[in-house]
């Protein structure tokens, strides 16, 4: 499925985003949160890259920087759209961002807050078409009907308002809106974490089907590793603003090379009572991105930490083909992953 | 899944219809639903407002008041300035409707003379001098709506000289008719409110909007100005400004100046509302979505932001008008606002300032009545509008809007017996019949099980290993009686909870898990109540049982059980802690209340407890507030609160749903450890089957308020019997799955709470439904194979009930 025809669709180089911390009456800047702290990766056409990590690790900020919903502090975001010309999204002046948005769209986490309750489905799904002046009125109407059908909703519901729909159906509406302009990259930020178990599966399947059908490329942001396994080609694990490991999905799950990945995998509750007790409990809490620990940011919680980890920050380096890790001891540890069910 | 396979690539708009079959998700049809589905914001608002009876009545009152504004001259019968010393301080007349059995409204003429002692005029009605009344009578000339010349009045006397003979509400010192003046005063007072609000609105929306949208320094400056204006005491400010008005100004000039003065203060509140809405809206994802869709700033503001807070502004404005009216009335009453010859409520009431004249002529106080009525009506109307302003809140129409609750909700002490009372709202009121039908078998005074010095943690030895469950729930039904239907939130839940073991209650959102937990603790919010079923709690001493479903939720026993015998942990720990008490304080208060400990002992024990749940440096943390703790620590503190009285049963409602996997693992490990130590029974409510597999001994699967399968955890996961359980297990994503595999999803979606399917509740989505049986008959929970496996499905037992 990984269509490696030519250059990648998206390349991110050393992306950084700092949010200032302001205090006092004059709101003076007293420090900053380094939400994204030097992130690099690429996504090939037609593939799904997942970003995983605990809350506050910078997944969503990374995704929003790529869409230029927020402006990054530093770094390059090279996007090669339909015409194949490389554009640096990060450096683009704001007024040139708009045409680019037709190529990149987003599916949101909260199916309630992401749809304007005061607009009908037609207005919601048709808005991207309208503001980008695509087609005539009737063409837009037909396109909306087609999009609704595509995501599994009846086109007759076009005149209804979002309040008439359940969470899962609303998420379908959000997906239809994201697809309206036929984007090549879809950023899905926790698209199923607010949904019910049974609906979750429906939406995941829909996303996978749409990818096959329309040749979409996904950046999938999630905290749930079991969801990630069902959709991704490759997975990047983030910890306090940095990628600590990036590998093809199967490999990451079977042979993790970073202690944090091992801990995350071990922490996932397995839906089988016979596998009980194998859950490893990671002590402590996620580091504060306003004040990350020196050396390897994971060292206060890492069971394998040595003296070197406290002073020297590891770099993200190749561990095997297509497998990057940022840990001083990656080669000596031999960590445990998750196999197939026994 | 066979989706239409045509491509959407490129810019062109595809017009062909899809070839393949499409899986359609169908929210079932009904006429009402169809209507609701396409209802606009304003329709939804109106439907919601309409249910607020008081607000609707008040709106009618306000409407009448404004009719007076428009028709003041027509409703008056005397010129408001016509004065006559001969008629000074006439008392109100009574209208007599019948004359010798015929309908002929009239009043008696009055004859006045001066009292030689007091020098006041006294009047006596003269029954022989009948003055007939006429509707649409001629009178003084005026211009209707300021345009149409007219001389008819609603009421008058036949000869057209009503000034001289008609005094419905009496006259004032100068002999002017109070009723007629009141009509004119209403016009002034009510329009000054409107004009003031209009001015405030412009200022407030403009400055608030700029403040909220631009942000940064502009926002800071505007906010500081607002704060300064709001911190100035208003009355002296008005007085100062009003006193500065030149004496020689005309009535109109004074009127305008007063409006400006009043609105100068009034805009700040509106500015705050607007700014707040703007800020919260900017965070809404649909605004980001619009931006990503390529909308311009202007379009986002005009098409997304403004419609979203228009309704709020209308509500805030309605609430601002009465404040304006009061301001004018008080200023004028104090002689600082409008001055005669202007007529307003305040000017009229000024006449009633003098105690002496009031004692003799109490009718001068009549103008206070419309002031009070109109102010109250405006406030109720504004409240109704405010409640209706966001019709999408709280799941829109699904959950019925709550009318303001009368104050019979119990007052809770800070460290209330129940963890997180603050967030829970009113306690359930048991139906009268249930509540008293059986007196609790135990006398009130008997200590439930708590000897204070034993404290919480040495309890372990006391709970025996015997097979009898500590808690048995049998066929519990809890319904919500909303105005437009009944929500059967729990409709047949049965399960047992054993000491030292964990029961998992699993099911999708809205299947009644939380309501089951609340029913056990008797904290179901109105309009919900337990309609039938038993909740049997085993007593510690004699092994007897108490039925909690029959206890008064506010009784001494129930309060003692809640938080004492049964602890509760909520999903959202933030809203469960009071923001004004430190975490430690809430634990200390709970222990003092339930265990009767003194403060130092309770505090020492609270510190131990916080350490036990893994909070670092508990001596310091105990004085921190919930918002200062991280999510994981907060959940630990919540568990400490639930455990502080050494409960026998801990009910944990989604205790880890809001947490990251690593923190989740920590909290679950903590619960297991505590259970091993205390031999507590745990009821774990969750939709995460991984957590269930990890933690539980027994599992109850719920669907639409009903337990459909129950059994030991291994059996549930390895030989599920109910089709719903099987489908649920198949549909969950797993880390063990092959990469990029599709999940067998359950088709369809949960039905609307008002439209529960007949027969087996699961039949519309069931792949194994038996045609002719499942849609007609209701399966019952019955044992299969072993006694501890129960399933409610016709695949496993025959049809029993017709
Ligand atoms: N105060 C209320 N008024 C009206 N209906 C209510 C009220 N509280 C709950 N309900 C209804 O009761 C049903 C069960 O709700 P409950 O909160 O128990 O579900 P749940 O299983 O805990 O769901 P979740 O997984 O989302 O927490 C739902 O249909 C809900 O809408
Ligand atoms: S660098 Fe050291 S502390 Fe960091 S993950 Fe590797 S072993 Fe652990
Ligand atoms: S009773 Fe029938 S419809 Fe219900 S779960 Fe069993 S087979 Fe399915
Ligand atoms: Mg719940």
Any domain includes B16: no
Supply B475's token pair.
């066929």
Atom nearest to B767 CA in ligand 3: 8
> Using CA atoms, how far apart are residues B251 and B258, in angstroms rounded to an integer?
11
The pLDDT of residue A207: 93
Mean pLDDT of B67-95: 75
Mean pLDDT of B352-376: 78
Q: Are residues B98 and B228 in the same domain?
A: no
User: Which residues, 6 or more positions from B789, have their beta carbon under 8 angstroms from its beta carbon?
Assistant: B710, B711, B712, B715, B721, B783
> Using CA atoms, how far apart are residues A57 and B164, in angstroms rounded to an integer?
85
The pLDDT of residue B27: 46
pLDDT, tens digit, for every residue of B668-695? 888 898 898 888 999 999 988 999 999 9
Phi, psi dihedral angles at B449 (to 5 degrees): 175, 0
Question: Which of B305-314, B441-450, B506-515 is predicted least confidently?
Answer: B441-450
Distance from CA of B396 to the nearest CA of A (A): 7
Nearest CA to ligand 2 atom 7: A305
pLDDT surpassing 60 at residue B465: no
> Using CA atoms, how far apart are residues A40 and A11, in angstroms rounded to an integer?
8
Q: Which residues of A touch B664 (CB under 8 A)?
A: 267, 269
> Using CA atoms, how far apart are residues B708 and B793, in angstroms rounded to an integer?
8
CATH number at residue B661: 3.40.50.300
Measure B633 CA to ligand 1 centroid, in angstroms.
27
Q: Are residues B626 and B718 in the same domain?
A: yes
Any domain includes B750: yes
The pLDDT of residue B573: 57
> Using CA atoms, how far apart are residues B522 and B558, in angstroms rounded to an integer?
8
Any domain includes B522: yes
> Using CA atoms, how far apart are residues B618 and B621, in angstroms rounded to an integer?
5
pLDDT surpassing 50 at residue A211: yes
Subunit contact A273:B693, Cβ cutoff 8 A: yes
User: Which residues, 6 or more positions from A179, have their beta carbon under 8 angstroms from its beta carbon?
Assistant: A105, A147, A150, A151, A186, A210, A214, B8
Distance from CA of A143 to the nearest CA of B (A): 6
Higher-pLDDT residue of A137 and B458 is A137
The pLDDT of residue B801: 60
Q: Are residues B203 and B344 in the same domain?
A: yes
The percentage of chain B sitting over the pLDDT mark of 70, rounded to a whole number, equals 82
Please name which of B423, B626, B392 lies closest in space to residue B514, comparing C-alpha atoms.
Answer: B423
Q: Are residues B265 and B156 in the same domain?
A: no
Whole-angstrom CA distances from B565 to A35, B521, B558, B640, B723 are: 45, 10, 10, 14, 36
CATH number at residue B199: 1.10.3720.10
pLDDT, tens digit, for every residue of A299-342? 999 999 999 999 999 999 999 999 999 999 999 988 888 865 54
A 10 A CB-CB count for B735 gives 23
Pairing verdict, β B649-653 and B681-686: parallel
- Of all ligands present, the nearest one to the C-alpha of B398 is 1
Supply B306's token pair.
């403004």
pLDDT surpassing 60 at residue B395: no
Q: Which residues of A touch B631 (CB under 8 A)?
A: 55
Q: Which residues of B touch A115 (CB under 8 A)?
A: 286, 289
Q: Predicted confidence band at B440 (pLDDT cuts at 50, 70, 90)?
A: very low
Question: Which residues are bridge partners to B703 per DSSP?
Answer: B706
pLDDT surpassing 50 at residue B435: no
Count of CB pairs separated by less than 8 Å, A with B = 292
> Using CA atoms, how far apart are residues B652 and B659, in angstroms rounded to an integer?
14
pLDDT, tens digit, for every residue of B540-578? 777 778 888 888 888 888 888 887 889 888 766 566 677
Q: Are residues B641 and B763 in the same domain?
A: yes
Any domain includes B321: yes
Measure B792 CA to ligand 3 centroid, in angstroms.
8
Cα first-last separation, chain B = 38
Cβ atoms of residues B796 and B777 within 8 Å: no
> Using CA atoms, how far apart are residues B553 and A48, in angstroms rounded to an integer?
53
Cβ atoms of residues B763 and B774 within 8 Å: yes
> Using CA atoms, how far apart are residues B294 and A130, in angstroms rounded to an integer?
9
The pLDDT of residue A288: 78
Q: Are residues B238 and B287 in the same domain?
A: yes
Subunit contact B662:A139, Cβ cutoff 8 A: no
Per the listing, tokens 């008064």 go with B552
Mean pLDDT of B68-79: 79
Subunit contact A116:B304, Cβ cutoff 8 A: yes
Q: Which residues of B touch A224 (CB under 8 A)?
A: 661, 733
Subunit contact A198:B687, Cβ cutoff 8 A: no
Nearest CA to ligand 3 atom 1: B793
Cβ atoms of residues A79 and A89 within 8 Å: yes
Ligand 3 site, residue B763, Cβ cutoff 6 A: yes
Supply B723's token pair.
């089709």
Q: Are residues B513 and B654 in the same domain?
A: yes
Q: Which residues of B touch A108 (CB under 8 A)?
A: 285, 288-289
Which of B7, B13, B708 should we substitute to test contact with A (largest number of A Cβ atoms within 10 Å)? Answer: B13
Ligand 1 site, residue B442, Cβ cutoff 6 A: no
Q: Are residues B589 and B513 in the same domain?
A: yes
Q: Are residues B318 and B192 in the same domain?
A: yes
* Per-residue 3-state assignment (H helix, E strand, C coil) for B316-367: HHHHHHHHHHHHHHHHHHCCCCCCCCCCCHHHHHHHHHCHHHHHHCHHHHCC
Higher-pLDDT residue of B147 and A204 is A204
User: Which of B143, B173, B203 is the last residue in one of the domains?
Assistant: B173
User: Which of B147, B173, B199 is the last residue in one of the domains?
Assistant: B173
Tell me A158's DSSP state. Answer: G
Note down the domain range covering B107: 76-173
For B732, the enclosing helix (H) or strand (E) is none
Any domain includes B356: no
Cα first-last separation, chain A = 28
Any domain includes B55: no
Q: Are residues B157 and B191 in the same domain?
A: no
Is A161 part of the contact surface with chain B (CB cutoff 8 Å)? yes
Maximum average pLDDT range among A35-49, B138-152, B263-277: A35-49
Residue of A nearest to B9 (CA): A182
Asked whether the ipTM of the predicted complex exceeds the cut of 0.95, the reply is no
Partner residue facing A285 (CB), from B38, B632, B737: B632
pLDDT surpassing 60 at residue A149: yes
Q: What is the DSSP string of B673-699?
A: HHHHHH--EEEEEES-HHHHHHH-SEE
Mean pLDDT of A259-283: 84
A 10 A CB-CB count for B462 gives 14
Maximum average pLDDT range among A109-123, B262-276, B360-374: A109-123
Whole-angstrom CA distances from B706 to B34, B474, B505, B772 are: 28, 11, 11, 22
Q: Predicted confidence band at B237 (pLDDT cuts at 50, 70, 90)?
A: confident
Cβ atoms of residues B430 and B530 within 8 Å: yes
- 3-class SS at A183? coil
pLDDT surpassing 80 at residue A44: yes
Measure A238 CA to ligand 2 centroid, in angstroms.
14
Show which of residues 72-131 on chain A sit within 8 Å of chain B, judged by CB atoms: 98, 101-102, 104-106, 108-110, 113-118, 120, 127-129, 131
The pLDDT of residue B244: 79
Q: Predicted confidence band at B476 (pLDDT cuts at 50, 70, 90)?
A: very high
> Using CA atoms, how far apart are residues B554 and B559, in angstroms rounded to an integer?
6
Partner residue facing B508 (CB), from A196, A233, A263: A196
Measure A293 CA to ligand 2 centroid, in angstroms.
12
> Using CA atoms, how far apart are residues B326 and B329, in angstroms rounded to an integer?
5
Question: Which of A34-43, A142-151, A186-195, B193-202 is predicted least confidently?
Answer: B193-202
Question: Which residues are bridge partners to B135 per DSSP?
Answer: B155
Subunit contact A161:B729, Cβ cutoff 8 A: no
Burial readout B85-119 (b: 16 or more C-beta within 10 A, e: otherwise)? eebbbbbbbeeeeeeeeeeeebbbbbeeeeeeeee
Mean pLDDT of A70-96: 87
Number of domains in chain B: 3
Ligand 1 site, residue B716, Cβ cutoff 6 A: no
Subunit contact B739:A204, Cβ cutoff 8 A: no
Supply A127's token pair.
């808005």
> Using CA atoms, how far apart are residues B1 and A206, in angstroms rounded to an integer?
10
Any domain includes B56: no
Q: Which residues of A touch B291 (CB under 8 A)?
A: 69
pLDDT, tens digit, for every residue of B571-591? 665 666 777 788 888 888 888
Q: Which residues of A touch B732 (CB under 8 A)?
A: 197, 200-201, 226, 271
Subunit contact B749:A166, Cβ cutoff 8 A: yes
pTM of the model: 0.76
A 10 A CB-CB count for B257 gives 18
Is A22 part of the contact surface with chain B (CB cutoff 8 Å)? no
The percentage of chain B sitting over the pLDDT mark of 90, rounded to a whole number, equals 13
**Vertex B474: Cα angle to B468 and B476 (nearest 5):** 145
User: Which of B150, B173, B196 is the last residue in one of the domains?
Assistant: B173
Ligand 1 site, residue B401, Cβ cutoff 6 A: no
Supply B772's token pair.
């002719």
pLDDT, tens digit, for every residue of B299-319? 888 888 888 777 778 777 887
Ligand 1 site, residue B507, Cβ cutoff 6 A: yes
Q: Are residues B192 and B164 in the same domain?
A: no
Subunit contact B37:A157, Cβ cutoff 8 A: yes
Handedness of CA A288, A294, A296, A298 (dihedral sign): negative
> Using CA atoms, how far apart are residues B561 and B707, in angstroms rounded to an integer?
25
Any domain includes B412: no
The pLDDT of residue A140: 92
Pairing verdict, β B102-114 and B96-99: antiparallel
Q: Predicted confidence band at B9 (pLDDT cuts at 50, 70, 90)?
A: very low
Mean pLDDT of B711-735: 92
User: Which residues, 6 or more positions from A99, have their beta carbon under 8 angstroms from its beta carbon?
Assistant: none
- Of all ligands present, the nearest one to the C-alpha of B759 is 3
Residue of B nearest to A301 (CA): B662
Q: Are residues B160 and B198 in the same domain?
A: no
Show which of residues 30-69 on chain A sit within 8 Å of chain B, judged by CB atoms: 54-55, 67, 69
Cβ atoms of residues B693 and B717 within 8 Å: yes
The pLDDT of residue B429: 29
């Amino acid at each position: 499925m990984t269509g490696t025809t030519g250059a990648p669709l998206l390349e991110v180089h050393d992306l950084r985003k700092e949010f200032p911390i302001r205090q006092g009456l004059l709101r003076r800047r007293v420090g900053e949160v380094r939400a994204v702290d030097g992130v690099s990766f690429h996504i090939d056409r037609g593939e799904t890259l997942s970003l995983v990590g605990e809350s506050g690790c910078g997944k969503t900020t990374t995704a929003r920087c790529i869409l230029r919903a927020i402006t990054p502090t530093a770094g390059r975001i090279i996007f090669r759209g339909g015409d194949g010309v490389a554009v640096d999204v990060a450096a683009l002046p704001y007024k040139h961002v708009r045409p680019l948005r037709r190529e990149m769209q987003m599916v949101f986490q909260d199916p309630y807050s992401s749809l304007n309750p005061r607009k009908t489905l037609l207005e919601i799904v048709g808005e991207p078409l309208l503001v980008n002046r695509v087609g005539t009125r009737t063409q837009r109407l037909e396109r909306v009907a087609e999009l609704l059908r595509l995501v599994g909703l009846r086109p007759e519901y076009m005149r209804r308002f979002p309040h008439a729909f359940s969470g899962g159906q609303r998420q379908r509406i959000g997906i239809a809106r994201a697809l309206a302009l036929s984007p090549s990259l879809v950023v899905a930020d926790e698209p199923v974490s607010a949904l019910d178990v049974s609906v979750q599966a429906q939406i995941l399947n829909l996303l996978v089907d749409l990818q096959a059908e329309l040749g979409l490329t996904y950046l999938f942001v999630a905290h749930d590793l079991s969801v990630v396994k069902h959709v991704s080609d490759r997975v990047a694990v983030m910890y306090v603003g940095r990628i600590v490991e990036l590998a093809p999905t199967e490999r990451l799950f079977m042979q993790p090379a970073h202690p944090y990945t091992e801990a995350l995998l071990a922490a996932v509750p397995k839906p089988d009572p016979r596998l009980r007790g194998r859950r490893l409990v990671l002590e402590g809490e996620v580091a504060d991105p306003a004040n990350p620990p020196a050396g390897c940011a994971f060292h206060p919680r890492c069971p394998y930490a040595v003296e070197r980890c406290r002073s020297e920050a590891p770099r993200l380096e190749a561990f095997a083909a297509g497998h990057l890790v940022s840990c001083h001891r990656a080669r000596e540890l031999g960590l445990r992953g998750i196999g197939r069910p026994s | 899944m066979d989706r239409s396979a045509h491509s959407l690539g490129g810019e062109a708009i595809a017009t062909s219809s899809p070839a393949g079959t499409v899986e359609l998700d169908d929210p079932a049809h009904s006429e009402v639903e169809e209507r609701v589905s396409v209802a606009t914001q304003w329709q939804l608002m109106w439907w919601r407002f309409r249910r607020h009876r008081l607000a609707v009545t008040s709106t009618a009152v306000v409407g009448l008041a404004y009719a007076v504004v428009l028709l003041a001259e027509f409703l008056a019968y005397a010129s408001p300035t016509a004065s006559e010393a001969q008629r000074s301080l006439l008392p109100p007349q009574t209208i007599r409707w019948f004359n010798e059995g015929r309908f002929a409204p009239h009043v008696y003429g009055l004859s006045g003379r001066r009292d030689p002692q007091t020098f006041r005029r006294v009047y006596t009605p003269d029954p022989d001098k009948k003055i007939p009344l006429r509707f649409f009578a001629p009178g003084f000339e005026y211009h209707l709506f300021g345009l149409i010349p007219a001389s008819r009045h609603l009421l008058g006397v036949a000869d057209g000289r009503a000034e001289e003979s008609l005094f419905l509400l009496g006259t004032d010192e100068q002999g002017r008719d109070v009723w007629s003046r009141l009509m004119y005063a209403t016009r002034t007072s009510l329009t000054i409110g409107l004009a003031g609000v209009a001015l405030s609105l412009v200022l407030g929306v403009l400055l608030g909007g700029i403040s909220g949208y631009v942000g940064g320094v502009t926002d800071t400056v505007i906010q500081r100005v607002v704060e300064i204006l709001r911190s100035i005491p208003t009355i002296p400010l008005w007085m100062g400004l009003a006193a500065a008005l030149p004496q020689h100004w005309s009535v109109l000039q004074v009127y305008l100046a007063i409006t400006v003065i009043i609105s100068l203060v009034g805009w700040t509140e509106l500015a705050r509302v607007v700014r707040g809405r703007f800020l919260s809206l900017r965070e809404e994802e649909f605004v980001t979505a619009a931006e990503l869709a390529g909308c311009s700033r202007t379009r986002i503001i005009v098409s997304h932001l403004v419609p979203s807070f228009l309704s709020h502004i209308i509500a805030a404005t309605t609430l601002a008008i009465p404040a304006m009216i009061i301001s004018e009335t008080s200023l004028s009453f104090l002689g600082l606002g409008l001055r005669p010859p202007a007529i307003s409520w305040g000017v009229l009431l000024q006449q009633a300032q003098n105690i002496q004249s009031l004692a003799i002529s109490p009718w001068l106080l009549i103008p206070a009545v419309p002031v009070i009525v109109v102010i109250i009506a405006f406030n109720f109307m504004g409240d109704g509008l405010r409640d209706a302003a966001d019709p999408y809140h709280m799941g829109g129409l699904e959950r019925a809007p709550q009318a303001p609750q009368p104050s019979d909700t119990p007052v809770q002490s800070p460290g209330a017996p129940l963890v997180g009372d603050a967030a829970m709202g009113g306690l359930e009121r048991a139906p009268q019949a249930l509540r008293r039908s059986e007196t609790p078998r135990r006398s009130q005074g008997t200590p439930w099980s708590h000897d204070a010095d034993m404290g919480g943690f040495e309890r372990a030895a006391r709970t025996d290993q015997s097979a009898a469950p500590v808690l048995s729930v049998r066929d519990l039904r809890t319904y919500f009686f909303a105005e437009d239907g009944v929500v059967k939130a729990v409709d047949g839940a049965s399960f047992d909870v054993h000491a030292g073991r964990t029961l998992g209650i699993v099911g999708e959102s809205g299947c009644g898990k939380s309501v089951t937990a609340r029913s056990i603790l008797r904290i179901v919010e109105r309009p919900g109540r337990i309609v039938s079923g038993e909740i049997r709690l085993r007593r510690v001493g004699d092994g007897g049982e108490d039925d909690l479903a029959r206890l008064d939720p506010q009784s001494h026993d129930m309060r003692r059980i809640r938080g004492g015998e049964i602890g509760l942990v909520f999903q959202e720990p933030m809203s469960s802690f009071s923001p004004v008490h430190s975490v430690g304080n809430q634990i200390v208060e709970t222990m003092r209340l339930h265990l009767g400990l003194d403060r130092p002992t309770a505090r020492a024990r609270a510190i131990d407890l916080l350490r036990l749940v893994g909070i670092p440096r508990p001596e310091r943390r105990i004085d921190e507030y919930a918002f200062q703790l991280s999510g994981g620590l907060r959940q630990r503190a919540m568990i400490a609160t639930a455990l502080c009285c050494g409960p026998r049963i801990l009910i944990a409602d989604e205790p880890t749903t809001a947490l990251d996997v690593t923190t989740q693992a920590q909290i679950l490990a903590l619960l297991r450890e505590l259970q091993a130590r205390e031999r507590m029974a745990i009821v774990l409510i969750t939709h995460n089957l991984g957590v269930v597999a990890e933690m539980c001994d027994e599992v109850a699967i719920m669907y639409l308020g009903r337990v459909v399968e129950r059994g030991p955890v291994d059996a549930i996961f390895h030989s599920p019997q109910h089709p719903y359980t099987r489908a649920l297990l198949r549909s969950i994503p797993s880390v063990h799955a092959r990469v990029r595999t599709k999940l067998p999803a359950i088709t369809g979606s949960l039905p609307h709470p008002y439209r529960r399917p007949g027969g087996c509740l699961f039949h519309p989505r069931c792949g194994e439904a038996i045609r002719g049986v499942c849609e007609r008959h209701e399966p019952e929970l019955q044992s299969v194979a072993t006694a501890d496996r129960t399933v409610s499905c016709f695949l496993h037992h025959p049809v029993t009930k017709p």
